[in-house]
Chain A
Amino acid sequence: MMGKICKYLILAILGVMLYEIISRYVFNSPTDWAAELSSYMFGTLFFLGGAYSLIKEEHVRMDLLYVKWPRKVQRIADIATFPLLALYLVLFIQGGIGNTLFSIRNSEVSRSLWAPPLAPIKIIITFGAFLLLMEAISILIRDILVLFNKELPSVINSSSKKNKEVKL
């Protein structure tokens, strides 16, 4: 679901940019919001897209050794390095929540002519990191279960089915 929304954002960004180009060069009346809005859409695209790219194995790995290992060793390595992922993302989310609450409390706005509130984009960034962490946990659980030859509970199966629907 999230993946689909993020995917379409590129068209929306192009739309906003085109609108700006036409109003600037054809009607000679540039907007004060297009540049900033497209920048926020860009941030939304890749922060919310993070989890989706994780499912699709699109985040690049340094796979000099990794590709040569059997699938089982790969799973063990992924489980062993999970704490690193958790450390970075938990720190990221913790900072994000603090920063967002600050923005909300002080009704912080961007220092531009348009001056939109900053809280929404901060909520989106934090939420993107949170989704990525949740997705990583679900992959971790799957890896552990497969490693110990446990049957996958039906909940996980149905969720992975859902992911496939997103792909289509």
Chain B
Amino acid sequence: MNTLFLPLIMFLGMILLLLTGRQIFIIIGSVAAIVALFLWGEGATFMPFSKGTTFIDFYSLLAIPPFIFMGSILSKSGVAERIYQAIYVWSGRIRGSLAIGTVIMCAIIAAMSGTNIAGTVTGTTVALPEMLKRNYDKKLAVGTIMSGGSLGFLIPPSVVFIFYGVIARTSIAYLWLAGIGPGILLTILYIIYILIICKKKPELAEVMSSEEYQKITLKDKCVAALGAIPALLLILLVLGTLFMGIITLVESSAIGAIGAMICAAINKKLNWNIIEESMEDCLHTTTMVMWILTAAFFFSSVFDAVGAVKGVENLLNLAGGNKWITLIIMQISFIFLGMVLDDTAMLIIVAPVYIPIALKLGFDIRWFGVLYVINCQMAFITPPFGYNLFLMKGIAPEGITTEVIYKSVTPFVIIQLIALILVMIFPQIAMYLPSLRFGG
């Protein structure tokens, strides 16, 4: 039990202090500092700074700012609206087509941006007003956007996978390819759910009237499709060349960012304002995650030194030592941690503890990473504390109350749980694509 005492105090201390609302990186860094000073006294002073220089050793991290910049440029230059418009005019009179269009749009945005923010924000600003205008049920509309937005974690380019790859010292391109299968699975499951629920309860979603539908000419359809094509080509180019091994991760991020500016220029939307705003976005997001990363590396090395791995391992062994039960307990702990920590902090604190345990149990750590990311998605839309919930509350129009937002996610969380279980039982869902490229 002794091995557990210090890690437990350190961990609980961090959770308690987080509740004060002080910036997360400060809490993580200061808790680590207190424990380090207690353990090593003067010797601890060199640690925070030396963890500050670790970014130099992990060259892949450099892909983060360009991918954030790329997503920001594309969403600000109206590319998302064009994609939505195209789906809208093509899908015609299917009941629930706007909700389905939203899911597809979010999946495409996920494929051009590294975080979940772009999808949720565009969904709320572009798709939500359209759906409300068509008298869609508020809960269906909001739930669609929240769950669609969270696809940004799973579908490459994904910043969470970069962090995971850095910590687990495994190929990031492999992880990104492994995220595609579950990402598509989730997208399809969401669409099936929307189709079924709209069939059962037609009052949830209004359909375009037939006169209105006839007004849409073939020319309109072609124009709409053409508007969406440059961005789709860019995604194919960036991810395609990366997965074929022609260019490296960091190079693909640079090409993506420059390509995004070209796409915006083709749409005649490239101006200094958009570039300036995107630079600002990029600066803040990068700064935020990297300061957390720096503090969390410090925390995790102190956490490791006080014997967290051994302690947690002992704790998990209490559950009987069956490897599947252990895995399930780890998954459940992610969901709870996701309620209080943000994804970067959670990953860097928990992953160094869990990865050795998962390895010892004989699990593939790349597959374990995919499970972790699906879990991240759930954590982000699960009340009471999920970042997407707050993001939504901040930008949604009036009439979308907290209660609506909380209730809207229930069916979608259940779908994510189903997907998580499916990927646990059938690892091929994630591992098939990368095995084609990398073998084994």
Contact = CB atoms under 8 A, between A and B. Distances in A.
How many B residues touch the partner, as a band? 35 or more
Contacts of B19: 62, 64-65
Contact of B53 (A50, A60, A78, A125): A125
B306 interface: no
Which of A10, A56, A67, A81 has the largest number of chain B CB atoms within 10 A? A10
A8 B59 contact: no
B291 A17 contact: no
Does more than half of chain A's interface fall in helix, strand or loop, or is it mixed? helix
Interface residues of A, number: 60
A87 B21 CA distance: 17
A104 B379 CA distance: 46
A99 B341 CA distance: 31
A43 B55 contact: yes
Interface string A98-121: 110000000000000000000001
B25 to A, nearest CB: 6
A74 interface: yes
Given A17-B251, A88-B33, A95-B47, A77 B288 contact: no
A45 B287 contact: yes
Contacts of B258: 14, 18
Contacts of A52: 283, 287
B340 to A, nearest CB: 6
Does more than half of chain B's interface fall in helix, strand or loop, or is it mixed? helix
Contacts of A49: 283-284, 286-287
Contact of A64 (B53, B280, B340): B340
B351 interface: no
A63 B390 contact: yes
A95 B32 CA distance: 15
B279 to A, nearest CB: 4
Contact of A18 (B25, B27, B65, B254): B254
A53 interface: yes
Interface string A42-82: 11011101101110101111111111010000100110110
A115 to B, nearest CB: 14
Contacts of A10: 65-66, 69, 279, 282-283
A84 interface: yes
B50 interface: yes
Contacts of B425: none
B139 to A, nearest CB: 23
Contacts of A62: 18-19, 21, 24, 27, 340-342, 385
Q: Which 4 A-B pairs have the closest CB atoms?
A: A66-B21, A95-B49, A17-B254, A84-B30
Interface of A: 3, 6-8, 10-11, 13-14, 17-18, 20-21, 35, 38-40, 42-43, 45-47, 49-50, 52-54, 56, 58-67, 69, 74, 77-78, 80-81, 84-85, 87-88, 91-96, 98-99, 121-122, 125-126, 129
Interface of B: 17-27, 29-30, 32-34, 37, 44-50, 52-53, 55-56, 59, 61-62, 65-66, 69, 247, 250-251, 253-255, 257-258, 276, 279-280, 282-284, 286-288, 290-292, 295, 340-342, 384-385, 390
25 contacts: A10-B283, A14-B254, A21-B247, A21-B251, A42-B61, A43-B56, A46-B291, A50-B287, A50-B291, A54-B23, A58-B287, A65-B19, A78-B22, A80-B20, A81-B20, A85-B26, A85-B30, A88-B26, A88-B30, A91-B48, A94-B49, A95-B49, A96-B52, A99-B46, A125-B49
Given A61-B21, A95-B50, A122-B53, 19 more contacts: A10-B65, A17-B66, A17-B253, A39-B56, A39-B62, A53-B284, A53-B291, A63-B21, A69-B21, A78-B21, A80-B20, A84-B26, A84-B30, A91-B33, A91-B47, A92-B29, A95-B49, A125-B49, A126-B49
